[in-house]
Structure 1
Amino acid sequence: MVTPESFYHVALKVTDVDAAVAFYRNHLAGEVIERKRPDEDATGAENVSHAALQVGDKRLYVFDRAPYEAAGLVEDLPYGFLHFGYVVPDVAAAAADLEGDVLFVMEPTVFGDMKIAFIEGPAGERIELLEYLD
């Protein structure tokens, strides 16, 4: 069993990041804490438009493409719910603990300043396990 330190975020893939930001700001008092658009020469995981919003006590990320999708680590994903994320102290240890009991959508991978892995829940939902690297 893995014991997460915290529930961190929900991620959505949307057709229009600006429209999604406006919706969550106007209807759920979302506060934009980060907004990025890719540079003209961006490739892979950097070629993603996204915003992070604080909605209530949680973060909501809206992407035009998931960074791990843009990097080619998973197949193209449909619009809508991408995943929810839990912070764990050690992704590799969590993965070892879960191995054989769950389906891994993406094995542990260093991604920027994090180590992440994705597992599939019982309804097919994607769950991100994330560890911040120093």
Structure 2
Amino acid sequence: MYEVAHVGIVVTDADKSLNFYTTVLGCQQEESYQDERIRLEFIKSGQLTIELIQYKEDIERERKAGRVDHIAFAVADIDAEIAKLRRQDVPLLFAEPKVSKDKKIMFFTGPDGERLEFVQKL
């Protein structure tokens, strides 16, 4: 089995996305890279690295980038985290968290409409 090195998400505004992931989700910025065609922001969430990718030209359409369905973040108190999202006007995909036998989940969206999820093990 391979260990996930990072998850890359194409964004339209790296500053806006970097602010969202660090301020709203508490991720830590690790490093940045920029050249004439691309800007990359690497952020850390626990052991996972997320790479925010902003193309400066319309390379995304040429490249036909793949799609990431969502990123799930483990939380200890999902109700407190949902309240925090609501205070910051983050769009939630359900009115209330979904509950299964061993977990509680809530999907929400980031600045570019990317699907994100909080998961609390019960």
Bucket of the pairwise TM-score, normalised by the shorter protein: 0.3 to 0.5
TM-score normalised per structure 2: 0.46
TM-score normalised per structure 1: 0.42
Greater relative contact order (Cα < 8 A, sep 6+): 1
